[in-house]
Amino acid sequence: MEQPALEGTWESWPEAPSGGWSRVLLKLSGEAFAGGGGLGVDPDVVQSIARQIAAVVRSGVQVAVVIGGGNYFRGAQLHDRGMDRSRADYMGMLGTVMNCLALQDFLEKQGVETRVQTAITMGQVAEPYIPRRAIRHLQKGRVVIFGAGLGAPFFSTDTCAAQRALEIGAGVVLMAKGVDGVYDEDPRTDPAAVRFDRLTHADVLTRGLRVADATAISLCQDNALPIVVFNLLVQGNIARAVRGERIGTLVAAP
């Protein structure tokens, strides 16, 4: 399945570095791992994602990954049902680690060396998060998967993705979603929704667009870190996004 040509009234996509980005932070939603099944992990979906990542790594790109835990627990939703917010968020963090281990297994089956680093100490299943060690793994061609969010409640995995990207010196945050970019309305419920080709971080914040939470967007804005929002469900799109091809929506400085 090929990506259709983009349409829109926004300015042309600024060029990515020659040959694309050399180090990227890929943000995956936990819901994507469920394959539309709601809860748990769909092995076929995770295998497909692992194959895409493996192809990118073999091209020489350094890849770090942050995964959500929404296919197991969402702290905010549990809080809405009366659970203590801190406890609910910690449950969500544990859910992200299960997703990390699943992706690690499928990546290693593709022959890609992988390390899981967590913000909460889990010595039997993962390394502790140490930025310099993560960078060294990346330099050796290993994929590094960051689990347990930031290790503190009240922060989303989107914010974790922005934070980790800055700490490891990634050139871009690639936000893989189930839709092909950022829209003014939810395209799954509104057929008249309009997709944006390019936005600034300020556009996202002032319009309240559903890209990531405000903390994550502000962090990227303050550090001029671009975000590419694209459709994970199209085979090969991770590689296209890494190369800087004009897919999805670019969120960048003006």
CB atoms within 10 A of CB 155: 19
Residue whose structure tokens are 């748990």: 40
Minimal CA–CA distance to 118: which of 106, 110, 126? Answer: 126
Phi, psi (rounded to 5 degrees) for 219:
-65, -45
Q: How far apart are CA 172 and CA 202, in angstroms?
A: 17
Amino acid at site 64:
A
Q: Where are the domains of the chain?
A: 23-251
Strands (E), 15-150: 23-28, 62-67, 114-118, 127-128, 143-147
Query: In 80-113, which positions are buried (b, 16+ CB within 10 angstroms) versus exposed (e)?
Result: eeeeeeeebbbbbbbbbbbbbbbbbebbeebebe
CA angle 63, 230, 222 (to 5 degrees): 70
Which CATH superfamily, name and number, covers 23-251?
Acetylglutamate kinase-like (3.40.1160.10)
Q: How far apart are CA 39 and CA 94, in angstroms?
A: 14
Which secondary structure element, helix H or strand E, spans residue 94, and what is its range?
helix 85-109
**Do 142 and 115 contact (CB within 8 A), yes or no?**
yes
Q: What's the pLDDT at 8?
A: 37
Handedness of CA 93, 166, 171, 246 (dihedral sign): positive
What tens-digit pLDDT sequence spans the chain (254 residues)?
Answer: 333 433 433 333 565 887 899 999 999 998 889 886 678 899 999 999 999 999 999 999 999 999 999 888 766 677 777 889 899 899 999 999 999 999 999 999 999 999 999 999 999 999 999 999 999 999 999 999 999 999 999 999 999 999 999 999 999 999 999 889 999 988 888 989 999 999 999 999 999 998 999 999 999 999 999 999 999 989 999 999 999 999 999 999 98
Residues with Cβ within 8 Å of residue 148, at least 6 apart in sequence: 93, 94, 96, 97, 118, 119, 120, 122
**Do 237 and 3 contact (CB within 8 A), yes or no?**
yes
Q: How far apart are CA 109 and CA 157, in angstroms?
A: 26
